[in-house]
Chains A and B, each alone.
Chain A
Amino acid sequence: MGMKKLWCVVVAVLCVGVMAVPSLAHAQAAQKTIPIGIHAAVTGFNSGMETQVRDGALAGIDWLNEKGGVTIKGEKYKFVGVVEDNKTTPEGSKAAAEKLVYDHKVKFITGSVIPFINVAYAGVTEPAKVIRNVDYSTEAPHEMGKDLPFTFRPNPAILEGIGPALQYLTEKFPNAKNIVIAIAESGADEALTTITDRECNKRGLKRVASVGYAMDTVDFYPKTTEMLSHKPDAILIGNGGEVATAPLAKALREQGFKGPLVFGNYDDPYEILKVVGKDYLAPFWTHGWSKDLNDPNLGPEMKEVIRTMNARGGFHQWNLWGWAEVWTIAQAIEKAQSLDTTVVANTWRKMKKIETPYGEGHMCGEKTIGINNVVCSRVAITEVLPSGDVKHMKWIPVDIP
């Protein structure tokens, strides 16, 4: 009889346990989630950069969740990242967007970098009223503008980069007047040349030539020969990524160019240094970022990203872009107190204050691109000194009217 009782107790406990599991699961399932699509090149020629963006976005999502996610009308939400590979091709871009929008039913997407990749999937997201926060864009109306009301950008890009880079040139090298711009042929050529001319004219500089190159150029010597034939005082690297700009910078130095290499883009100074070598690189500056946690001018938001990514295996420049994208989406959702993307978009573009890893920003772009869908904050001037040290020199606030 005693054993029988014991068995009854054991069975009863087991039954309670089995019943409790679905309850627990139900409790877990009660945690509401907001999926964020991460549209990135996991494969293809731009995967090197965009896997870093992806990693930054995923880390940003975990960071937001640790802080409690967002609260919308009293309900707590956490974010979930959903990654789709755009393969760095227009077809892959469209397919990835379709999977995110129609299979995964996301309403918020981050990415991608390359203009023609972003253009390729706008046709999927805009009609579906899916908000996408792109990594990068130019002024071109087919990339961002009033015809693309659900396309936002939180990271500084070409519009914000060229001016400050040239401004620093005039401060450090006042006698440098003739500029050659090197342009990676990625669909941004015309926009880049227009912006460069405008910014040069403002500062009494002259663009003497634009030289285009393919991102997969085998040997840059023919291109750098062409650039140097125009006898520039400084060379502006307008766009591209380190996979091309690093060997380009190396070729320029090897061919005897000793003037300033001005990067109007956000290329990683440590990567450029690795390829070119500290004996030749300076004078050089970029809007890419120092990762010196001891630098008091770097900003607490940026240091938070660097620390977090270091703990996850290592910080890479482009982590910042992904992080900025998910963080700004979260702030817009919380401000709007809604998951309706039309409400979120309308609220977002009116925000006078929005936090980014680069510091406090505001929404801008109404006069320039027809819609206030760009987050304007500040760009860094990061110089590589002759000693080989990478030093954050200053922040320059930027605004796009």
Chain B
Amino acid sequence: MQLFVQTLINGLVLSSIYILVALGFALIFSVMQVLNFAHGSVYMVGAYVTYFVGSIFGLPPWGAIALSAGVMALFGVFLEGCGFRILAKDFNRTLMFSLAVIVLLQTTADVTVGGVLRHVPSVLPGLTRVGTVTLSKERVIACVIAIFLLILVNLLIRKTGLGREMIAVSLDRTASALQGINVHRVSAFAFALSCALASVAGGLMGSITRLDAYMGDAMLVKALALVIIAGMGSIGGLFVSGLIVGFIDATLPIYFGAAGGEVAATAFAILILVIRPQGLFGQEV
């Protein structure tokens, strides 16, 4: 029973972590229909920026995460303007560009700051009990933040003018431009928000685990699995796909080893692609 309860809570925590990371990735995929494979590296850079702004300026963890999100939002605008916007019409080149960004960011981090183990100070130190289960408060706060941001982004898209513009751009970029929507502004905003979300995720995860130049790789795979399962255009569907992947990863490794868990989540995503390519929740309008 103890093992079951612990596994349940592990699944919830892991699901929240995955949702947090996948949110920014899903936003770009839904709005710009761009598979930004560099999202994992942006998450990693966001974690390192959080660490360094905290240690250089002596900011508390919350301040460091907020400042880092701002910095990474600007980086997102730069990425969009100097790369993705120019290559927008060519899927292959967009893909190559995002892969090049991964190599550049990872290698730079590896040779400059990757040599020493770093850890973002905890946003909420201490432990708490949930029934018979003990876990860190920072994990609880990560869960709360993940759900809060998921709701916030969903409301942004559904209830604001900017959100409606994003939906319009995702449906038909040319028609949106003809209707007077500044598609470049919308895309830049989407990228800025995506990178800021990745940075928040990186900062929180950097305190739960540790920083390293390759921490984004595994997260990118999870983000991709979540987006595939939820379906393109479905931000709210991330909640369900996050729960599915999170619970698979929390339970299967216990019985089938680390590799078994990795294979299962990816296999499920492939299965969804085969039997329901639009994902569980398709494209929301």
Task: Point out residues on A near B: beta carbons under 8 Å.
Answer: 42-45, 47-48, 51-52, 185, 212-214, 216-223, 225-226, 229, 242-243, 246-247, 250, 254-256, 268, 271, 274-275, 277, 316
B218, B219, B250, B253 pick with most chain A CB within 10 angstroms: B253
A214: B residues at CB distance < 8 A:
258-259, 262
- Taking a contact as CB atoms closer than 8 A, the residue among B114, B133, B217 that contacts A48 in the complex is B114
**Cβ of B98 under 8 Å from chain A:** no
- Taking a contact as CB atoms closer than 8 A, the residue among B115, B139, B208, B250 that contacts A47 in the complex is B115
Contact B13 A219 (CB under 8 A): yes
Selected A-B contacts with CB under 8 Å, 29 pairs: A43-B110, A43-B111, A45-B212, A47-B213, A48-B115, A48-B117, A212-B258, A214-B262, A216-B218, A217-B218, A217-B258, A218-B205, A219-B10, A219-B14, A222-B14, A222-B249, A222-B261, A223-B258, A225-B3, A225-B10, A226-B253, A242-B117, A246-B117, A254-B134, A255-B134, A275-B117, A275-B210, A277-B122, A316-B115
B213 to chain A, nearest CB (A): 7
Which residue in chain A gives the minimum CB-CB distance to B250?
Answer: A222
- Overall SS of chain B's interface: helix
A218: B residues at CB distance < 8 A:
14, 17, 205, 209, 218-219, 222, 249
The interface bits of chain B over 191-205 (1 if a CB of A lies within 8 angstroms of the residue's CB, else 0) are 000000000000001
**Cβ of B116 under 8 Å from chain A:** yes
A52: B residues at CB distance < 8 A:
115
Contact A45 B119 (CB under 8 A): no
Give CA–CA (A398, B213) in the complex, Å. 36
Which residue in chain A gives the minimum CB-CB distance to B128?
Answer: A254
The interface bits of chain B over 7-24 (1 if a CB of A lies within 8 angstroms of the residue's CB, else 0) are 100100110010000000
The interface bits of chain B over 205-234 (1 if a CB of A lies within 8 angstroms of the residue's CB, else 0) are 100111011110111001000000000000
* Count of residues in B whose CB is under 8 Å from the partner chain: 46
Given A221-B135, A222-B253, 19 further pairs, Cβ under 8 A: A45-B212, A185-B258, A185-B259, A212-B258, A216-B214, A216-B215, A216-B217, A218-B222, A219-B10, A219-B208, A219-B209, A221-B10, A223-B253, A225-B10, A243-B212, A247-B210, A250-B209, A255-B6, A255-B134
A51: B residues at CB distance < 8 A:
115
Which residue in chain A gives the minimum CB-CB distance to B251?
Answer: A222
B134: A residues at CB distance < 8 A:
254-256
B15 to chain A, nearest CB (A): 11
B209: A residues at CB distance < 8 A:
218-220, 247, 250
Give CA–CA (A183, B139) in the complex, Å. 25
A221: B residues at CB distance < 8 A:
10, 13-14, 135, 250
**Cβ of B149 under 8 Å from chain A:** no
**Cβ of B58 under 8 Å from chain A:** no
B55 to chain A, nearest CB (A): 12
Contact B254 A226 (CB under 8 A): yes
Contact residues of B between 123 and 137, Cβ < 8 Å to A: 125, 127, 133-136
- Taking a contact as CB atoms closer than 8 A, the residue among B111, B135, B262 that contacts A255 in the complex is B135
B257: A residues at CB distance < 8 A:
212
The interface bits of chain B over 80-117 (1 if a CB of A lies within 8 angstroms of the residue's CB, else 0) are 00000000000000000000000000010011001111
Which residue in chain B gives the minimum CB-CB distance to A221?
Answer: B10
Shortest Cβ-Cβ A-B pairs, 4 listed: A256-B134, A247-B209, A214-B258, A254-B136
B124 to chain A, nearest CB (A): 12
